Every structure is written in C-alpha cells, then in structure tokens.
Amino acid sequence: MLVYTAKRILLAILVSLTVSALVFSLLYLSGDPATALAGERASQADIMAIRAAYGFDQPVYVQYFKWLAGAVQGEFGESVYFRLPVIDLILERLPVTMTLGVCAMIFALALSIPLGVLAAMYPNSLIDRAALLLAVVGQAMPSFWFALMLIVLFAYWVPILPASGSDSWQHFVLPTIVLGYYATPAFMRLTRTGLLDVLSSDYVRTARAKGLRPAKVLFKHALRNAIIPVVSLAAVQFGFMLTGSIIIETVFALHGAGFLAWESISRSDFPTVQAVLLLFSWFYIILTFLADLLNAWLNPRIRVA
Amino acid sequence: MTPTIKVENLRVSIPLAAGVLHAVRGISFEVAKGETLCLVGESGCGKSLTSLALMDLLPSRAKREADRIELDGADLLKLGERDMAKVRGSTMAMIFQEPMTSLNPAYTIGNQLEEGIRLHKGVSASEARERAVYLLEKVGITGASSRLGQYPHQLSGGLRQRVMIAMALMCGPDLLICDEPTTALDVTIQAQILHLLKDLQREFDMAVILITHDLGIVARVADRVAVMYAGEIIESGDVDEIFSRPTHPYTQGLMNCIPVPGKTAYGERLGTIPGIVPSMIGEMTGCAFANRCAYAEDICLKTLTTRELVPNHAVRCVRAEEVAALNAGLDTATASAGSPA
Ligand SMILES: Nc1ncnc2c1ncn2[C@@H]1O[C@H](COP(=O)(O)OP(=O)(O)OP(=O)(O)O)[C@@H](O)[C@H]1O
Ligand code: SF4
Ligand SMILES: [Mg+2]
C-alpha cells in the first residue's frame, strides 16, 4: 500500500505540473496580454509600462516559474478588475462552490445508488424501467434548461424557493438538484450494471451457499465490489461538477468561484481566471488521487500494482 | 439407518423462449454417511443443476419439483428460505468448479472462512479463528495462521480450492457436494485434491456427492456411481459392478471412450459415441438415448422405467438383458478370437 501511495503521489505531482503549464499558457493564447490589459485606446508607452509592471518582458519560462512559485504559496497576484489579491477573492467565493459541489454529490449518490441497487435486484421490473427513464431524461436534458424549468416551477408558479442569490440554504436547493441530477444517470447505470454483474458472480454464489442472509450477501459481498467503479466515477464527476458550477452558479447568481470565473473571463481579468482554473484542476487531481487510494482500500488486488 | 440425503423424482425446469427446458427429469438417489456417490455424465446433462437444486440455489428462473428431498430425515421441501439458509453451509455444504472466482476478492481468507461458522454456530471470533487454522492445516496449507490475513489473489488455484474445501467443512456438514472440484486444476493438483477429499470424508464421516465427467476420478473415489444422460440417471450401482458390467449402451459407450491400461493397445482408436444429445426442451417419451443407440428398436420409444437387474445395479433400458447377453457373446467371441489356436 505504501509503494502504491508513493507512486500515486508522484503521478499526481507530474500531472499538476503539466496542468499548471497549460493554464499558464492560456495567458498567451489570446495574443499579447499587455495589449489586452491596457485596453483598446492605450498608447504604446502605456503598453510598455504594463509589460514591465507585470513582468511580461521577461522570458516566458521565468514568468512561468515565478507564477508557479507564487501559486504554490497561494500567491496569485492582484485581480486586474477588483485591485485585490486574487487569493482573497477566491477564498471568499470558494465556500459557496464547495457547499454546492458537496450537496450536489450527496444528492446524486443518495438518489442513484439506491435506485441502481433496486434496478439490479429487480431487473426489468417497473422500478428498473422508471430508473432507466430517469437516466435517459437526465442525459438528454441540458442543465441550464433544467435550471430554468425549476426556476419557473418553484420560484414563480409555486413560489417556495428563491430563484437567485446565495444568502440562505434555500438558495442552494435548486442549484443542488440541477447539478446533482446531472451526475445521477451515470452513477445509477454504473451501480446497476456493476451489481448485476457481481450478483451473478461465483463468489456471491459461495456466500449464498454459506447460508448468509440475503442482506449480508447483498451489502457485504456484492455491493462492496460493485461500488468500486462508482468511487472512481464520483471523483471524475466531482471535477465535472466544478466545471458545471460555472454555468449553474451563473444561472442562479450564486456568488461562488464558478461565477467569479465567468465574470472574470468577460472582464479579461487574467490573474483571476488563471487562479480559478489552476485551483479547480489541482483540486480535481487531489480528488482523483484520493479516489485511487479509496479504491485500493476497497479492492486489495489494486494495492500490489 | 436413514441415508444422509434421499432424493426422489427430482425435476428442474427452466422456461426459455423456445419452450420449457426440462434439464433434470425425475432423478432419484440416496447417499449414506461415509459414502461417496459420483454423478457422471457429459457436459450439459444436468449435473450442476441437480446439485444446486439440493442446495436450493438454482437460478431464479429455474423451477424445482420433487417428491422428496430429505437431509438427515428432515424434509427440505417444506423449508422456507430462512430455514433453508440455516441448513446451507452448516449441515450441507458445497464446493464449486471454479476455485479462481469462488472467493470474494475484497475480503481476506480468514474473514471468509469465519463468517459462516460465526453465523450458524454463534461461536466467538477466536473460536472461529482456531477452527479456521485447524482446517487450513487439515487441507494441507502450511503457515495456516499467516494465510488468514491473505487475500484470494495472493493464492494459486490449487490453494484456493483447498481454502474452499476448508470453508465447506467449517461447520462440520453431514453432506458435502463437490461440483467438479478439480476440473479447473492441473493434473498433479487434481490428484492431491481428490486424495484430500477422500481422507477428509473418512475422518469426518460425511456423505459426499461428487460430480464429474471424468471416469478416471470415479474409479478412484466412488463407492457408488450414477450415470446421467440428458437429465436422467440411466444407470447406477456399486462402482465395481458398473465398471465390470456396464449395461446401458450409453455407459458402455462412455467406458469405450477411455483407455484401459493393459487392454487398450497403443495407437488403437478409442470409441466415440456417434450422434448428438437430444434437445431437452419439451416433453420426451421413451429412451432419451434412442437416437444414438445401436440397439434401439420400436419398443424403446414407449414409456420406460428404471429397473434393478441385480441388487445395487439399476438400469434405465428396456433391452438391458438382451444388450447384456449380446455383450457377453461378444466378449466370448473376442476372447476366443484373441486366444492362440
Ligand atoms: N441459467 C440457465 N439458463 C438456461 N439454461 C440453463 C441454465 N443453467 C443451465 N442450463 C441448461 O441446463 C442444462 C444442464 O446444465 P448443467 O449446468 O446442470 O450441466 P452440467 O451437467 O453441470 O454440465 P457441465 O459439465 O458443463 O458443468 C444445460 O443444457 C444448460 O444449458
Ligand atoms: S432403451 Fe433402447 S434405445 Fe434406449 S438404451 Fe436401451 S436399447 Fe438403447
Ligand atoms: Mg456443471
């Protein structure tokens, strides 16, 4: 397990570095950053001044390492728009995004795993078909459209929930449903196929031949093995949820980091966009790493690899 | 003395798109304490379904019917799922054909060995552990106590099958069902496992049903044999009797398929049974072997019963006596032809 963990850590660091280089290069993707920052009517002297002030005149790799060194210490420079340290902006917004992400994940798992289990235990039954329908609808429906439908339904027709803002827990209900529902079909189908597979496995037959109670066979012997791929998927989905939160937070005007990224893109606030992207990616990498560890714990065969 | 297991007219059917598959069609047998019954027959003849039917572990679509299934005199047909679960793994245990996949990859050997006895006998964790170590040593696993913490993927196929055997013996069952326990293993390991099963049976005085398609295994471990064909037992009796006087044309065909040391000349062609197994979908009257039998006549397609020719030797063939007589003639003929003039 120790060797395995060390290998995973090394891999995570390599991926983090690659990602940071990519995020950094985004700055140059849209042309000269100094010109963009200075605005359309700036003079050549203004542009030169900005270039010197931001260090854009130094070699690219020097800029990158300075930026990376800062990033590792949580130092992302100053927001061009707010004139405030980027890190403060993000830290202020992050709790909203995290709350939304965690709630959405819990909602998705709490809905999809029991449904997947029921669907696998009674294949082709009414409940299986209903679950399938839910999955098909979930995959076909764009999340912003679903968000708007929910707003119309629960904020206007039956006004029981607020349509926008992030002041109370009620503000999180609709965004959680939209963001969580988006991940539900994949979890549910994976639980169902995984469990169906495992239920017909030889070791489940062995467990039954031992005279174990059906609940013990299901939870101890079957579900534990069926859930392994779901754990990996959950990590990936959480990353997608962060990305998705950019849209959802914008629709519901939830003042989280996703909303900040959206606003900053439209304001050409490079340092902020870079910081949000980098932190989201690193967060995603850490999640994948933790999922790998959890997987190894659930599945002893992986540990030797 | 009541036999450990007594089965009368067991039938297993599976509804399929093409019709109802009658996979096991009215078989009866009994096995006494300390005795080994071998169920032999080619692939698909219903051996595994028979054993799963005894354990009440058939696939959910399959339907089980029987006039009687008694274990230690108790009627298993009357038991509900809860009571049946109490019998499974405690008085009646089973070893499967696939040692590589029959253990749960997520739990240690110790965990899987101990959970059954803790449930059935309510023993403490340390007592269960002691029993597990004792049985692992019995099945010839060295360093037993350190093995308890290992996971299945750390063991070879032969070791896993030994673990499966130990697991089946944890609660001291009266009946042990082994469904092709050595088919997936290589030949040297096969011999060791069979030897082990035989020793354990003697030591624990169990009734054993051993399923195989290998007549060599039958010759080594069986006390009695039941030959299955297309869901029926077509011949059964004491092992010596069946091997020395196989009477059903199918059994004779099977015997001709194996080389006999000292009898089969090097390079001589072994017999094969021409034709294919009939479909078991739908009802069937008369002899199931008729389409492949060299002795088949019109009478064979009428209703047919299993008859005892001599005590402890039953055959399901209307022409058994004639076949036997013809064979005896043949034997004398070959014997005289082979003798020096
Ligand atoms: N779940 C199932 N669904 C449909 N048919 C089945 C099922 N299980 C078994 N059968 C059929 O029932 C018949 C008997 O199967 P069974 O597994 O008992 O054979 P077997 O004698 O054990 O063969 P083998 O030596 O290959 O293990 C076969 O024709 C098989 O195709
Ligand atoms: S009953 Fe007839 S067909 Fe069947 S085995 Fe006997 S002789 Fe052959
Ligand atoms: Mg079989």
The percent of residues in chain B predicted with pLDDT above 90, rounded, is 60
Q: Is residue B341 part of a domain?
A: no
How much is the pLDDT for A300? 79
Q: Is residue A47 part of a domain?
A: no
Q: Is residue A24 part of a domain?
A: no
Q: Is residue B27 part of a domain?
A: yes
pLDDT tier, B259 (very low <50, low <70, confident <90, very high otherwise): low
CA distance B216 to chain A (A): 27
Same domain, yes or no: B214 and B237: no
pLDDT above 60 for B31: yes
Same domain, yes or no: B191 and B239: no
Q: Is residue B26 part of a domain?
A: yes
pLDDT tier, A30 (very low <50, low <70, confident <90, very high otherwise): low
Residues A251-261, mean pLDDT to the nearest whole number = 87
Residues B200-225, mean pLDDT to the nearest whole number = 93
* A196, A201, A202, A206, best to mutate vs chain B, most B CBs in 10 Å: A206
Residue B274 tokens read as 């021409």
- Of B86, B120, B153, which has the smallest distance from its Cβ to A301's Cβ? B153
**Residue range B125-178, pLDDT digits in tens:** 999 999 999 999 988 898 899 999 999 999 998 899 999 999 999 999 999 999
Residue A180's domain is classified under what CATH number? 1.10.3720.10
Residue A210 and residue B88 in contact, taking contact as beta carbons nearer than 8 Å = yes
Distance B40 CA to ligand 1 centre (A): 14
Tally of domains within chain B = 2
More confident: B134 or A168: B134
Q: Which domain holds residue B148?
A: 3-222
Same domain, yes or no: B138 and B7: yes
Given the structure tokens 């060599």, which residue do they identify? B216
How much is the pLDDT for B339? 42
pLDDT tier, B340 (very low <50, low <70, confident <90, very high otherwise): very low
How much is the pLDDT for A198? 94
* A203, A217, A223, best to mutate vs chain B, most B CBs in 10 Å: A203
pLDDT tier, B184 (very low <50, low <70, confident <90, very high otherwise): confident
Same domain, yes or no: B243 and B317: yes
Please say which residue of B199, B222, B245 terminates a domain: B222
How much is the pLDDT for B330? 64
Separation CA B57–CA B253 (nearest Å): 32
Q: Do B96 and A202 lie within an 8 Å CB cutoff?
A: yes
Query: What mean pLDDT is reported for chain B?
Result: 89
Q: Is residue A257 part of a domain?
A: yes
The percent of residues in chain A predicted with pLDDT above 70, rounded, is 98
Beta strand segments in chain B, E: 5-16, 19-31, 36-40, 63-65, 68-71, 74-75, 92-95, 175-179, 207-212, 224-229, 232-238, 307-310, 313-315
Q: Is residue B55 part of a domain?
A: yes
Taken as a whole, chain A contains a residue count of 305
Q: What is the DSSP letter of B281?
A: B
DSSP A77-142: -B-TTT-SBHHHHHHHHHHHHHHHHHHHHHHHHHHHHHHHHHHHHSTTSHHHHHHHHHHHHHHHS-
pLDDT above 60 for A144: yes
Cβ–ligand 2 distance for B227 under 6 Å, the answer no
Q: Is residue A67 part of a domain?
A: no
Residue B153 tokens read as 């993927």
**Residue range B271-321, pLDDT digits in tens:** 677 777 788 888 888 899 998 888 999 999 988 889 898 888 999 999 988
Q: Is residue B186 part of a domain?
A: yes
**Residue range A78-119, pLDDT digits in tens:** 887 888 888 898 898 888 898 999 999 999 999 999 999 999
* Element containing residue B174 per DSSP (H, E): none
Distances (CA, A) of A86 to A18, A243, A279, B285, B335: 22, 19, 12, 86, 103
Whether the predicted model's global pTM rises above the 0.90 cut: no
Same domain, yes or no: B83 and B108: yes
Residues A134-148, mean pLDDT to the nearest whole number = 83
Cβ–ligand 2 distance for B317 under 6 Å, the answer yes
pLDDT above 90 for B47: yes
Residue B339 tokens read as 């003798």
More confident: B262 or B153: B153
List of residues 6+ apart from A40 with CB closer than 8 A: none
How much is the pLDDT for A193? 92
DSSP B307-318: EEEETTEEE--T
Atom index in ligand 2 nearest the CA of residue B289 equals: 4
For residue A68, the one-letter residue type is: L
pLDDT tier, B186 (very low <50, low <70, confident <90, very high otherwise): confident
Q: Do A225 and B104 lie within an 8 Å CB cutoff?
A: yes
Residue B85's domain is classified under what CATH number? 3.40.50.300
Q: Is residue B175 part of a domain?
A: yes
The residue whose CA has the least distance to atom 24 of ligand 1 is B43
Please identify every residue whose CB atom is under 5 Å from ligand 3, which is an ion.
B 48
pLDDT above 90 for A266: no
Please say which residue of B206, B222, B238 terminates a domain: B222
Residue B296 tokens read as 């088949």
Atom index in ligand 2 nearest the CA of residue B296 equals: 3
Q: Is residue B127 part of a domain?
A: yes
Say which ligand is closest to the CA of B49: 1
Q: Which domain holds residue A221?
A: 93-268
Tally of domains within chain A = 1
Q: Is residue A80 part of a domain?
A: no
Q: Do A300 and B151 lie within an 8 Å CB cutoff?
A: yes
Same domain, yes or no: B20 and B129: yes
Residues B178-199, mean pLDDT to the nearest whole number = 87
Separation CA B283–CA B269 (nearest Å): 36
**Residue range B84-116, pLDDT digits in tens:** 999 999 999 999 988 889 999 999 999 999 999
CA distance A200 to chain B (A): 9
- Residue of chain A whose alpha carbon sits nearest to that of B165: A206
Query: What mean pLDDT is reported for chain A?
Result: 86
Q: Is residue A68 part of a domain?
A: no
CB–CB contacts below 8 A, A to B? 70
The residue whose CA has the least distance to atom 18 of ligand 1 is B46
pLDDT above 70 for A138: yes
Q: Do A203 and B88 lie within an 8 Å CB cutoff?
A: no
pLDDT tier, A58 (very low <50, low <70, confident <90, very high otherwise): confident
Ligand 1, CB within 6 Å, residue ranges = B 14, 21, 23, 41, 43-49, 59, 213
Separation CA B318–CA B321 (nearest Å): 8
How much is the pLDDT for B341? 36
pLDDT above 80 for A147: yes
Same domain, yes or no: B81 and B185: yes
pLDDT above 90 for B24: yes
Chain B residues inside the 8 Å CB shell of A298: 106
Q: Is residue A113 part of a domain?
A: yes
Please say which residue of B186, B203, B222 terminates a domain: B222
Same domain, yes or no: B151 and B72: yes
Q: Is residue B323 part of a domain?
A: yes
How much is the pLDDT for B275? 75
Separation CA A195–CA A55 (nearest Å): 56
Quick check: B85 contacting A, CB < 8 Å? yes
